[in-house]
Amino acid sequence: MKFRFHPEALQEYEDSALYYYSVSPLVAGRFVVEIEKAIRRMRRHPTAWAMVDEDVRRCLVKRFPFGIYFTIESDHLLIVAVMHLSRRPGYWKGRVM
């Protein structure tokens, strides 16, 4: 299944990767790999993830304290947040139509 990022979710992903890059390029590379693996899992089995709100599901990222929040649209997955799990919950709800 195809996927796309909500613009703010893409910005969160980029900001997080840049943060990890400032810590270590190696850590940043691992972060990107783990996010990509999570997205592949979501694409293969989109309904496998628990619903956290209405039609929004969350896929946890391995090795990093992040969750990818997404909806299943008619022809794609919409990633609405790439959220550090220590952030305030629900801040992304305005992104869901």
- What confidence tens digit (pLDDT) does each residue in 43-77 have? 999 999 999 988 999 999 999 999 999 999 999 99
Give pTM, 2 decimals: 0.92
**Distance in Å from the first CA to the final CA of the chain:** 20
- Percent of the chain past pLDDT 90, that is, above it, reads 84
Domains observed in the chain: 2-86 (3.30.2310.20)
Place of tokens 């390029």: 25
Residue 28 CB-density burial (10 A; 0-12 exposed, 13-18 middle, 19+ buried): middle
